[in-house]
Amino acid sequence: MSHEASASIRVQLPPLLRNLMGGERWLTGDGDSIMAVLADLGRKHPSLALHFFDEQGALRHNIAFVHDGAVVRAREATTHAVEPGDELILTTALAGG
């Protein structure tokens, strides 16, 4: 797995979506907010775009992120800033079942 220059944001995929990327755990995207990074990944990987964004272009509401140890919910992702070299963990909001 390559680690691009720190200008990119590393995003860890949840196990379910790694299978769509040939098992890759980490992807790299560009952008100054979580939303922008996900949009960049969606452009690079259209199969993932279906799973990131709904018909309104919003992040799916059960998606959440971990950034710098803090949980960031989907509704905060548009404005939540990230910086080059940051890492994001893409997860789902916890629920039973």
d(CA 44, CA 74): 20
Q: How many residues does the chain have?
A: 97
d(CA 61, CA 53): 9
Q: Binding other proteins by CB under 8 A: which of 1, 5, 16, 70?
A: 16
Q: How far is the CB of 11 from other proteins (least distance, A)?
A: 15
Please identify, using beta-carbon distances, which residue of 14 and 84 lies nearer to other proteins.
Answer: 14
Q: Binding other proteins by CB under 8 A: which of 75, 79, 83, 85?
A: 75
3-state secondary structure of 33: strand
**How many residues form the binding site for other proteins (CB under 8 A)?**
21
d(CA 88, CA 97): 25
The contact set with other proteins (CB under 8 A) reads: 15-17, 20, 46-47, 49-51, 54-57, 60-63, 73, 75, 92-93
